[in-house]
Structures are given as C-alpha cells and as structure tokens.
Amino acid sequence: MGKRKQWSRLDNAAKIFPPTSSKRSTKVFRFVCELIEPVDGVVLQHALEKTVEVFPLYRSILKKGLFWYYFEESSLRPEVFEENLPVCAPIYDADKPCLLYRVSYYGKRINLEVFHALADGTGALQFLRSMVFAYLAEMYGVPGRLPDYDVAVNQKSLDAFYKYFDKKGKVPITKRYRPFRIRGERWPNNRMSIIEGFLSVGAVLKKAHEHHATLSEFLVALLMCSIYGEMAIREQTRPVVVTVPVDLRRFFPAQTARNFFGLIQVAHNFSRDGQDFEQVLVHVKQSFEQQLTKEYLQGIVSRYTALENAPLIKAIPLLIKIPILRLAGFWKDREDTAAFSNVGCIVMPPEAAGYIRLFDVFMSARRPQLCLCSFGDTLAVSVSSPLVDTGIQQRFFHSLADMGFSVQVVSNLEQISGEEGFHASMRSLWN
C-alpha cells in the first residue's frame, strides 16, 4: 500500500479564486527581483528546489472535493525556465494537475508568479526572498540565512483565518456603492499593459508627510484624482471607489505564507465632496483611519469565516457552490473602480542586498490595478490593465513628475501583441 498523500484545506480567502479564475482574469500575480548581473538558470533551479523543501505547501496541487477545493501533496517538480509567456498567464488548470506557481528568468530578472489561491503577496514574498537568498548563497557565497523568517513549517502553512476567527466578533456594516466603472477596448488575447514607474521612496515619503499622510494614502488619493481626470462629465456624479487589500499580519501575530488579508474600500464623490487633491486626500485619510483598526479588521475576519462555516453553506456540494461563487465574484467585481496594493518595504540581509537592484510586483487585472513595493530607496509603482486606453496611467505618472519627482517609466505597450516574454518587450517612455 502506497503512502497516503497529505492534504490541507484552502484558507478562507483562497476559496473564491479557483471558481472565478479564467483566461480573462487569471488571479495570478508576479513578483520580480532584478539582480545586478544576469541570472544563471541552473543555479536558480537549485535555489528553487532548496526553497520548496521548507515551503511544503508549494508542492501542492489543487483538487475538487465534495464540498470545497483542497490542496493535495504532489510529486510534481518545479522547473525554472527562461521567460516566454505573457505576464500573469493562467496557472491553474482545472483539467490537469499542476503546481500553483512558476519561476522564470530573463536577463537580470527573476520572476515568481503565483496563483492567488496558494498565497497572498506577503506570503509569496517570503518564498521569493528565501529563493533569492538561496540563489545568492550558491552563486556568490553569501553567508547566513534569513533571520526574520526563520519559522517552523507549520507556521508557514497556518490557516490564520481559522486561528483568529472569533464567533463573537462584531461584523462591521459596510456601505454599498454604485461606483464609476472604467470601460473601453480590451487588449486582444487577454493581454495586459504594464506600466512601471521607479522613483525615490524618500522623496515620496517626504511629500506625503508634508500632507500629514502615509505613502499609501497619498498615492491612493493621486490615483483617484487621475481616474477622475479621465471621467466623462455625465459620469462624474458616481463615486470613485478603490479597493485596498490589507495585510492582516500587521494586526494579528501570524507568519503564515498563505493568504491572510482583508479588503477595505475608499470612496470619493468628486461632484459632491470636491475635486481638489487636498479634499480627496482628507477623505482618503479618514477612510483609512476608520477601517485600519484591529477591531474593524477582526470584524472582517469574523464576517469572512462565519459565512464559510454557516451550516447551509457547508452542506452545499461544490458542484452547486461553483456557480454561486462565480456569481458572487461577478457582483463583487462591480463594487469598485480600481484597486491599490502596497506590499511595503522589502528587506534583505546586508550581505545579499548588494547583489540586488530592485523588487517589483504586479497583478492580473480586470480593471486598472496599481501595485507598489520598495527596496532601499527605490519605489516601484506598477499599473496593470486589460484596457487599451492608458489615460489614467499617463495622468498618474505625469502628476508625480509635475510634483517634482524624478520618475523613470517603462512599459510593454510597443510589443504587447507579440509572443516574447514581458521583460524582453519593456521600453523606456521617459526619464
């Protein structure tokens, strides 16, 4: 008799991704680590294999159970390849077993793409940091380890939603919006445009603090103003609504490498509440202050988990749940205008940092999605979009330049319809 395969249930946030993923919305995100020298594919393969050993969930495939999807241990071996796919191409295939991530490289860049059911940005980042460190250790003899993520395997695989579910938690009442929705011609073959901007973290933080705001508040307000600038007059009575994922690890002690995030929303009605940047920023700050509290986020965790554990929901077979979840995902997608995600400051040990130029992150998108992260003094701001029109992105980056920031902007727009890898098609727009 063969050894019984290990299995584990999906965390609460992960359950929505398998039934709602498609070629049009792959639910895949990409992290990039750009080194100072070209990547050696053989060494990267060794680093990947070492990393998977300490992140056992990354050996899993996704399977359908009677009532829910679940992860099952697999013997599939991850293989590094030179980038040759469109950015954030589909990973999950319901018809065949497959690992839920891929690792590729191009030039000096290492790419980690992850299906969102496996992990959120913070969780996947720990995998990437470990892999990059293992690569640098073999390639350059970098000593030591990642001391800030030296945690037990069971902690990496923890379902933090289940751990912090409080049946008595007060579920917050959230306002429903009829937001402005960005429409237009889409790129063929489900391609996405990616526009990346690189600027000084210190400079942006200084400007944000002059406005008594955080970096995220400052950039969310700027994104909302950029959207408003592209709205037709007849549409300006509708609010601009931006969804912001929040890393719940900041509020609850968990080091899971799986999903552990909640969603908040920031809304501003320009026709009613003012068009000036300062007016928008005040509104954004108020929304962040009201929602970024442990009590409020505990309520979100309770809401998510209570719904999952409701007897009626649990009793419905997966075959029936799938169309229900797809419908729920469809209506949820109509509740915002754009999305904003700040992964935060990425830190590597000093011995390793000297070999790294920058980190970057972006996501598959059904509407403009702004993602950012920083490494050292380099802030990477990326906007992904399935739409041909780039007016919002241009306004956003030009606004930063008009504020006095030095911004280097690159894009894949020139060759988005080609078959070559994303980073092979990047072109500088302006400096």
101 forms bridges with which residues in the sheet? Answer: 114
pTM of the predicted model as reported, rounded to 2 decimal places:
0.91
pLDDT tens-digit series, residues 236-286: 999 999 999 999 999 998 888 899 999 999 999 999 999 999 999 999 999
List Cβ neighbours of 198 (8 Å cut-off, separation of 6 or more): 358, 378, 379, 380, 381, 407, 408, 409
3-state secondary structure of 281: helix
Q: Which two tokens stand for residue 162?
A: 């289940």
In whole angstroms, give the CA distance from residue 204 to residue 379: 9
Say whether 188-430 and 7-159 share the same fold.
yes
To which residue do tokens 């590597």 refer? 348
Q: Look at residue 421 and tell me whether its pLDDT is greater than 50.
A: no
The answer to whether domain 188-430 has CATH 3.30.559.30 is yes
Q: CATH code for 7-159?
A: 3.30.559.10
In whole angstroms, give the CA distance from residue 65 to residue 88: 27
Binned at pLDDT 50, 70 and 90, residue 430 comes out as: very low
Q: Could you state, in order of their start, the residue ranges of all structural domains in the chain?
A: 7-159, 188-430
pLDDT tens-digit series, residues 95-124: 889 999 999 999 999 999 999 999 999 999
pLDDT tens-digit series, residues 53-94: 999 899 999 998 888 888 999 999 999 999 999 999 999 998
| Residue 254 DSSP class | -
To which residue do tokens 């380099």 refer? 378
Beta strands of 78-218 (E only): which ranges?
A: 81-82, 101-106, 109-115, 193-200
Residue type, 89: A
In whole angstroms, give the CA distance from residue 103 to residue 101: 7
31 forms bridges with which residues in the sheet? Answer: 112, 361
